[in-house]
Amino acid sequence: MIKILLSRKLGELRWTQADLARKTGIRPTTINELYHEMAERVNLEHLDLICEALGCELDEIIIRIPNSAPKIENTRAGNKVHK
């Protein structure tokens, strides 16, 4: 599972979503989706801009937590992905 830690990072810096949107030029709606971990896709350029604005590394705002149950099952016919 991928976790977006933007809310924690903004809290540490005492920045608002609006502050980040102004600094990066990213739409406030996009920032809000990332902040609330509702984004299904993430633009790599946006991640770069956010890291630059916040003065942080990518692993400070996005992490991977291993799934408790595998989502990929190896079969004879090939891999099967469970969603």
What pLDDT is attached to residue 76?
65
70: nearest Cα among 83, 59, 58, 60: 83
Neighbouring residues of 81: CB distance < 8 A, sequence distance ≥ 6: 71, 72, 73
What end-to-end distance do the CA atoms of the chain give, in Å? Answer: 11
The DSSP string of 15-75 is --HHHHHHHH---HHHHHHHHTT--SS--HHHHHHHHHHHT--GGGTEEE---SS-SEEEE
At 2-52, the pLDDT tens digits run: 999 999 999 999 999 999 999 999 999 999 999 999 999 999 999 999 999
Predicted TM-score (pTM) above 0.75:
yes
Q: Which residue has the higher pLDDT, 79 or 67?
A: 67
Q: 2-67: which CATH architecture?
A: Orthogonal Bundle (1.10)
